[in-house]
Chains A and B, each alone.
Chain A
Amino acid sequence: MTARTTTIVTERREGTPSRRFNWGRVTDALAPYLQVAPLTLTFAVFLLVPIVTIVVVSFWDYDSIRVIPDFILLNYEELLTSSVTWRIYLNTLKYAALTWALTLGIGFTVAYFVAFHVKSLTWQITLFMICTIPFWTSNIIRMISWIPFLGRNGILNSTLISMGVIDQPLEFLLFSDFSVVLAFVHLYVLFMVVPIFNSMMRIDRSLIEAAVDAGASGWQVLTNVIIPLSKPGIAIGSIFVVTLVMGDFITVRLMSGGQSASVGLMMANEISLLQYPAAAANAVVLLGVVLIMVALMLRIVDIRKEL
């Protein structure tokens, strides 16, 4: 590049001693910037500007009817010193941990089955498509459809009573932590299946034969070959699930019947009360927490080779 530019410049100088403005040189220098401009612009508009706005607003003041541009730390002070905040964070982390563990267990098993036990590609694709069917409807509809099933007089309870398994309807089924986690798992398990399946499909089948040749049992193949080589997929799936659960508010509100709270729900409430600066401070703290969690996951697993 440099060499070419130099020759052009020399030729011009020899040909036209009057030193005309050199457009070739300018466009050469601009080219890389023009090439990254669309991506930079997209990131700036859709990521940088909103985050900066939130951070700025989080330092503003407010009263019951308006927000006041200012620079105060009160929003953070109130947030971090309130025991409610800590309880809600703990609750959200509990949901995240439970959902993560369950989606990982189910997701790994499903991916393992489809990747290693289904031999024909046609069947692999078919089963994979079947996994995505729930995603053809909206999140809200998928959540709401649990309510008539799990309710006090719902399908499950009445079936169990008529079968004589229980006398009293089971109360924990709906509007409880159980139903919240159940809905989360239902909503997000595919985010775990897809990356793990992708990782598994990249495992060279001769590695498994080599392990068997070295005397590995089925379990040893799983722990010594398949799990280590699926780690990038597990990490990517975990990032999806954890970030989705940490930021969720609608699932918790619907499935707990308003009896449980999450960080997202706390923010939604603040917004509905027009306490934008408080919600913004909350958002900044949540962003920090989630980023730390993601960073920890990336420290454990190197996902670069998967991207």
Chain B
Amino acid sequence: MAGPADIELAAVTKLYGSTTAVDSIDLKIPAGTYCCLLGPSGCGKTSTLRMIAGHETVSDGDILLGDTHINDLPPARRGTAMMFQSYALFPHLNCVDNVAFSLKLKGVAKPERRAKAMELLRLVQMDKYAERLPAQLSGGQQQRVALARALITDPSALLLDEPLSALDPFLRVKMREELKRLQRRLGISFIHVTHGQEEAMALADLVVVMNNGRIAQAGTPREVFNHPRDAFVARFIGGHNVLARSIGGVEKQFAVRTDRIRILPPNSATNGVNSLAGQVRLVEYQGPMVHLRLASPGVDEFTVAVTEQAYFAAPFGEGDTVTAAWNDDDMHPLAA
């Protein structure tokens, strides 16, 4: 293919009967971007990916890859390649033949296509397992082979459908690093669907948070984390409390990062500070931080993340009543 290229979605819509899965989304993914489509199940992220891949028809709108309008092109002629959630390796073919599959379809001679496939297997460090069948490989190994198979077509963009969800947590972190390294090395865009915000933040140059078929917010992980646009994004991205404050008779929502909240010593004055008194419902030790869940009237969920050091300097238990406080600067206003 023509090397890295921008991807642009313009008013892309997907209808299943009368249900709208993707509702007129606009998105531009510059060439060479690691983009994560993040959202809860049913938010339209997978439908969006499948429309880009060409495995789902576009009900309305346009998809462009570079200067090419790819709406009506078959998957293999779009310049994209897809890696499937369950890897979808052909069980009757060994690793080399799985990787060489698309070359076989094009009629490339056997020695030539096997040589090229071996090259890609080396790229994903699977050359030692070339003759094995998929059933003889672990989940992580199967994924590497699937990656090699997707990359053999020299795509301008690689589309990954929840690629890490089938792996155990330890392997997930390891494969995450490798995906990122590979993306940097190849210089093409990776579009990665996930419902894990941690995964998205670790990997993405561009996080696209989706909800109800729309893009709730798109930006760098840091932008999204520090400036969530609305209550949904703040809650989904994690690490935030969503509070409602009545200002001049108008109810407004704010997000406060859980790690910007401190617990006041007992009997401190609370005049002129943002504060909230509540009963400790849960103390969760997480290593560097200790998470406290407070129950307070009028607030559905309130979490405070204090450093381990601060917590153990003045510990308290579940059932104690404490006062949490934060600065005005840390109150981030949310769109309704």
Contacts and interface: CB of A to CB of B under 8 A. Distances in A.
Contact of B153 (A207, A212, A214): A214
A206 interface: yes
Contacts, number: 59
Interface in B125-161: 149-150, 153
Q: Size band of the A side of the interface?
A: 10 to 19
Contact of B84 (A210, A220, A228): A210
Interface in A184-216: 204, 206-207, 209-216
Given A204-B86, A206-B88, A229-B91, A213 B105 contact: no
A216 B92 CA distance: 16
B207 to A, nearest CB: 25
A225 interface: yes
B63 interface: no
Given A204-B86, A204-B88, A206-B88, A212 B74 contact: yes
Nearest to B101: A214
A211 B101 contact: yes
A215 B106 CA distance: 8
B134 to A, nearest CB: 11
Given A215-B106, A225-B90, A209 B55 contact: yes
A209 B75 CA distance: 9
A106 to B, nearest CB: 24
A224 interface: yes
A214 B55 contact: no
> Nearest 4 CB-CB pairs, A to B?
A215-B76, A214-B102, A210-B88, A206-B88
Given A213-B53, A215-B76, A215-B105, 16 more contacts: A206-B85, A207-B88, A207-B90, A209-B55, A209-B82, A210-B82, A210-B84, A210-B90, A212-B76, A213-B82, A214-B102, A214-B105, A214-B153, A216-B76, A225-B90, A229-B92
Interface of A: 204, 206-207, 209-217, 220, 224-225, 228-229
Interface of B: 53-55, 74-77, 81-82, 84-86, 88-92, 101-102, 104-106, 149-150, 153
8 contacts: A204-B86, A210-B82, A211-B101, A212-B55, A213-B82, A215-B76, A229-B91, A229-B92
